Amino acid sequence: MSSLHLRFAIASDLHIALPQTIRRLPQRLHLVEFSISAFEAALAHLAMLDLDFLLLPGDLTQDGEPDNHRWLQERLQLLPFPVYVVPGNHDVLSPVPTECSIGASEFPDYYRNCGYRDAKCLYYTQLLAPGLRLVALNSNQFTADGRQLGRIDAEQLSWLQDVLAASGQEQVLAMVHHNVLEHLPGQAKHPLGRRYMVDNAAELLEILHTAGVQLIFTGHLHVQDIAHNRQLYEITTGSLVSYPHPYRVLELESDRGGELKLTIQSFRVEQIPECANLTEFSREWLGDHSYPFMHKLVQCADLELSETETEAIARDLRYFWADISAGDAVFDFQHFPLPVRQYFSTFGALDASGKPMRIDNQMQLALQARTGCNPV
Ligand SMILES: [Fe+2]
Ligand SMILES: [Fe+2]
């Protein structure tokens, strides 16, 4: 690979909602009311950074409303750097259009300036620079009865294998909305966590491992987390409309010996015109609204607690989801009974031996040279 120095950014789960489209849902954990201001605040910072490109891994809109998609694609065209998107579950609620939202079939046409060249295909590949390729996947599928499902279909997996086989020694950045690696303990089987994952993640992972892919960018969970499995790092970025309103800036550069180094920095939108102290307001908002979710989380943990104990612990977890969302948290609830304390400590940013490992927000990693693709 020739010498490379690129700077790019990731902003996820923008959930853009123009004022006239906002649906008031009392249980909603994220603040779509602030979506445009939060995105504009992030863009104001990114405009100063001389970016090579911006990645948006899905949930671009509140709920797939045509007005919100139109506003966003027009806004993206005004940016001085290329933008690449994939659809999230909130962008394509059904295969075909409904009264209130666009259909999955229309998504590529809206974003034909953001990676999509074929109006009929929901995935694509793009050469970002000599030796660096983006593979943008669609993880939104629908069951026969119309339910949404996080999955990569067989045709797309076959296409992916062909693209990776043809990519030779190029470094590959994969982008998809749903998680591929677990970001929470036992996420793939957890009743509350599994819907955030690609349900055939093992199949996809095997293809990525075999081809030597080392980086995958996801969203959907609204949590800042970096997980790894062998040489593959999955960088999931929190939502611009929920605490702590993060986005990331990454530098990819080769040193004199040709080694590639990736530096990841994370930033937060801390204030917007509607809210001078967004960080504190949003943390309290999550505290105020996460009790039902925390109650379910305690119930699902099978800790043999009475209803009174479950309620007390769920109340004590007021800031737990905010801390998870921010990444890099370590938990030690000393006043909880030992099994409960042990269970919640497993959500912390720990290495395999249980020591704190804070890599979710700031991190540097060395990429191995890709030797090409072995057929699966
Ligand atoms: Fe989302
Ligand atoms: Fe999502």
195 CA distance to ligand 2 middle (Å)? 9
Other CB atoms within a 10 A radius of the CB of residue 89 amount to 20
What is the C-alpha separation between 304 and 309, in angstroms, rounded? Answer: 10
Q: What is the pLDDT of residue 25?
A: 85
138 CA distance to ligand 1 middle (Å)? 15
172 CA distance to ligand 1 middle (Å)? 24
Q: Is the peptide bond before 130 cis (omega within 30 degrees of 0)?
A: no
90 CA distance to ligand 2 middle (Å)? 6
Q: In b/e form, how buried is each residue of 112-150, taking b as 16+ CB within 10 angstroms? A: eebbbeeeeebbbbbebbebbbbbbbbbbbbeeeeebeb
Mean pLDDT of 235-243: 98
90 CA distance to ligand 1 middle (Å)? 7
7 CA distance to ligand 1 middle (Å)? 25
Q: In b/e form, how buried is each residue of 229-267, taking b as 16+ CB within 10 angstroms? A: eeebbbbbbbbbbbbbbbbbbbbbebeeeeebebebebb
Ligand 2 ion: nearby residues, β-carbon < 5 Å = 59, 88-89, 220
Share the mean pLDDT of the chain: 95
373 CA distance to ligand 1 middle (Å)? 33
pTM score of the predicted model? 0.96
242 CA distance to ligand 2 middle (Å)? 13
Beta strands (DSSP E) in 156-294 are 171-175, 215-218, 225-229, 232-236, 246-254, 260-268
Tell me the β-bridge partners of 132. 129, 171
Q: What is the pLDDT of residues 318-364, one digit of tens each?
A: 999 999 999 999 999 999 999 999 999 999 999 989 999 999 999 99
Of 267, 272, 270, 234, the C-alpha closest to 249 is 267
85 CA distance to ligand 1 middle (Å)? 14
305 CA distance to ligand 2 middle (Å)? 31
**Any idea where the domains of the chain sit in the sequence?**
5-271+363-367, 278-345
91 CA distance to ligand 2 middle (Å)? 8
Ligand sitting nearest the alpha carbon of 12: 1
Lowest-pLDDT choice from 155-164, 240-249, 250-259: 250-259
Ligand sitting nearest the alpha carbon of 13: 1
Mean pLDDT of 204-213: 97
128 CA distance to ligand 1 middle (Å)? 26
Q: Is 374 a residue whose pLDDT tops 50?
A: no
Find tokens 């620079």 and name the residue. 129
Ligand sitting nearest the alpha carbon of 139: 2
If DSSP codes are grouped into helix, strand and coil, which group holds residue 129? strand
334 CA distance to ligand 2 middle (Å)? 34
59 CA distance to ligand 1 middle (Å)? 5
pLDDT band at 309 (very low <50, low <70, confident <90, very high): very high
Within the chain, where are the H helices? 35-46, 66-77, 107-110, 154-166, 201-210, 278-289, 291-300, 307-316, 320-326, 338-345
Mean pLDDT of 276-296: 97
Cα atoms in the Cβ-side hemisphere of radius 13 Å centred on 151: 11
Which CATH architecture describes the domain 5-271+363-367? 4-Layer Sandwich (3.60)
Q: Is 376 a residue whose pLDDT tops 90?
A: no
